[in-house]
Structure 1
Amino acid sequence: MPKVSLIVSAYNIEKYIKKCLQSLIYQTFQDLEIIVINDGSTDNTLTKIQQMEEIDTRINVIDQSNEGVMRAREKGFEKAKGEYLLFVDGDDWLAEDAIDVLYKKAKQNDYDIVCYKFYFVEGDEIRKSSTKNISYQMLVGDDFLKMIMTSKINPSLWSKLMKKKFIKNNNIVFPNDIAKGEDLAFSCSLAIHCPRVCLVDEFLYYYLISRSQSVTNSASSILLEVEKATSFIQQDLKYNNMYKENKEEFEFLAFIHNFWVNRDIIYNKKNELSKSLYKKWKRTGINIRKNKYFKELMLKEQLKVRIISKMLVSSYLLGSLFYKFYNLYILVAKKSSAV
């Protein structure tokens, strides 16, 4: 039985999948299996995977119709035999010693989850992920949950080595019906059950961003799916009697993901859906200005952003007018600089 299962989801990434799988095959830690789920690719991704399968017998391929990344991961989870799991996006890759480092750390103190640092890759540029908010070595109780909900820990599944038994024993559900924010929903479900968590202070994963082949959704569908994810988290918290003691953290999460990160969409795409979502946000009755995490966020921003932020959360009309004139100002400034 392999000690670690690497679960790779792949959709239309014929240019990248070979590099990904090579980084897994040539890990210094060899006691592993590699489960690759081809999620209905329409290019040569499956052919590339099958070619790699012929090179290394540890590679197992699952070919399915396009059911989405979370369903692909769930199928990989069901097939996995390893004590620990690592989910990998098929256009990313690992440092050569990643699994060796992570597995040793996990076994050192029987951790359920081991988090680590990562690189962002965009074209020829490679930059380190921000670590200014990460100073922990071990988390217990609901500390992990609070840090995920307040954006201090990356919620992506590929940023964690996880014990399979922990997921199975706690009946943690893969949210297959959520297309945006599914990693956040799943990570919060993990955290609700208070796993033993630690951080490896090393950069072990390379995350490729701005890939043109990525699945893109309309602004409207993005907003709806993110709202669905935060509703899932709220229900999960309430079901597990964790909502009351984590209410402030959840309200900050709802603000960040339903409103703050999507403010450009809400105010630039002035349609009935964006207005409806804004009204829905206001109906929650969340007074975000009194939230301690919102106050911390504002302290880190420049004065201009603080003023803008308060304007945006106060009124849809003010927010829309601001974006209209701000975008006009940027356009004029660009034309002036080009003269």
Structure 2
Amino acid sequence: MVLRKNSTRLNSILVAKEKAISNRMACGGKMGITLTIIIPVFNTPKDLLERCIRSIPFQDERIEVIVVDDGSCEETAKHLRMLQCEDASFRLHTQTNAGQNAARESGLKLSHGVYVLFLDSDDYLDSEAILYIIDLLAQNHPDILAYGIQYVDRAGRPITGKRRCEERYIPIETKHYLIETSALWGQIISRSLFFDPSIEFCKTCRVGEDLATLIPLLLKADTIAATNLNAYYYVQHNNSITHSQGEALSLDILLAFDFILEHIENGETYTQEIEWLAILHILYYGTFRVMGDQSAGIAARRQLSNFMRQHFPAWRQNPIFLMNVQRRGLPFWLVVTGQWRFYSLLKLLKSKLSKLKLFPVA
């Protein structure tokens, strides 16, 4: 009986909160909503989910938050309702499991902000930086604004960082930004870009889905800018999608590039940049994904090479690739050109020499 009373009270609180949020959303631009933060959730660990949501500055009325529960288990769904009841003024949308990009798309359809930020539910934000960035958006009106990213472990301890620039705000060229980004969560995007009928979320793959969605958006943007503010904390842990991508998904990157090639209209302007992205994501990262199992990996590696031969036959002459060979050295060249056996031998040799303190492991 007590449980039923508590459940009824919780539901009534949630209904009241949802009604208040809906009234605010109905006013749209009249309420001055600058930024919509969209968080897709699927069975995210409680501690990470709670830290993610509580990192958002809800007190600022220029921000709206939409959490999309993409078919999570009952435990996660209940935790979301509790967070919404306690102190978080976010809108909660529930759907059957359809994948991360489908959840992002659902959130976008419900959004009212001038800009959108896609926040993964195991990551979190720097609330002060976000508030400052909203001011930058209002002052400069870029189509896309990239911010600094801090990579941390599950406990929040810094691992490494990615600083976009040294200035508080600076415009950057599309060709430069194309070759250094791959994730939808790495920047704030004007919602108007999604109104273009040629723009859609890639939902055909799990490896490369962010890249496939982002590249057409970047090519549509008139102005791209960056700030030196570190606004996003990317959490590296064993349960994340990045760390759990196995060989079963390894060839999904080819589906991602099929999507990119089908959806870019002015790709000829950035042929070298897109070709470089294919080299990096298909021949380099793709090789590491498929070569865990030697027998299956060889066949998969052949598929990766055949895709490059078909769509980017002159990739070995790509100037960005040649520059990176000089910068990254022999191990990079061996992996990209398919010399996996020599790469493995080189790695083994370095390991043995490092034990003798004759050669540091790269």
The alignment's TM-score, normalised by the length of structure 2, stands at 0.78
**1:234 aligned onto 2:261:** yes
In the other structure, the counterpart of 2:288 is 264
| Match status 1:165 vs 2:192 | yes
1:229-308 to 2 correspondences below 5 Å: 229-237=256-264, 240=265, 242-270=266-294, 271=296, 272-284=299-311, 286-301=313-328, 305-306=329-330, 308=331
2:342 maps to: 322
Query: Which has the greater radius of gyration?
Result: 2
1:9·1:72 contact (CA, 8 Å) conserved in 2? yes
Partner of 2:170: 137
Counterparts of 1:274 and 1:212, CA distance in 2: 26
What is aligned with 2:178?
A: 149
Is the 1:8–1:87 contact (alpha carbons within 8 Å) kept by the matching residues of 2?
yes
Q: Write the distance in 2 (CA, Å) between the matches of 1:106 and 1:213.
A: 30
State the distance in 1 between where 2:280 and 2:227 align: 27
2:65 aligns with 34
Identity of aligned residues (%): 21
Of residues 249-258 and 10-19 in structure 1, the stretch that sits farther from structure 2 once superposed is 10-19
Greater shift in the superposed pair: 191-200 or 269-278: 269-278
**Structure 2 spans left out of the alignment, 5+ residues:** 1-27, 358-362
SS at match of 2:182: coil
1:37–1:211: structure 2 CA closer, same or farther, 3 Å change rule?
farther
- SS of the residue 2:107 aligns to: helix
Aligned twin of 2:13: none
CA-based RMSD of the aligned residues comes to 2.7
Match of 1:19 among 27, 40, 51: 51
- Conserved? CA contact 1:220–1:273, under 8 Å: no
Aligned residues: 319
Q: Which amino acid aligns with 1:46?
A: A
Q: Distance in 2 between matches of 1:11 and 1:165?
A: 27
Q: Tell me how far apart the structure 2 counterparts of residues 132 and 99 of structure 1 sit (CA, whole Å).
A: 15
Partner of 2:121: 90
- Once the two structures are TM-superposed, the CA of residue 65 in structure 1 deviates from its matched residue by 2.0
In the alignment, which residue of structure 2 is the partner of 1:7? 38
Q: 1:83 to 1:328 in 2, by over 3 A?
A: closer
CA distance in 1, matches of 2:149, 2:225: 15
Q: Does structure 2 retain, via aligned residues, the 8 Å contact 1:266–1:278?
A: no
Deviation string 1:128-185 (CA, Å, 9 cap, x unpaired) is 523377878113xxx32x234322xx23222222221232145520112221111111
Q: Does 1:218 align with 2:238?
A: no
TM-score scaled by length of structure 1: 0.83
Contact 2:334–2:340 (CA under 8 A) maintained in structure 1: no
- 1:117 corresponds to: 148
SS in structure 2 of the partner of residue 174 of structure 1: coil
In the alignment, residue 75 of structure 2 is paired with which amino acid?
Answer: N
| Partner of residue 207 from structure 1, selected from 234, 255, 279 | 234
Amino acid at match of 2:189: M
Q: Counterpart of 1:321 in structure 2: which amino acid?
A: R
Letter in 2 for 1:41: S
Structure 1, gaps ≥5 residues long: none
Q: Distance in 2 between matches of 1:11 and 1:274?
A: 31
Displacement of 1:11: 1.4
Q: Describe the shift of the 1:119–1:273 C-alpha distance in structure 2 as closer, same or farther (beyond 3 A).
A: same
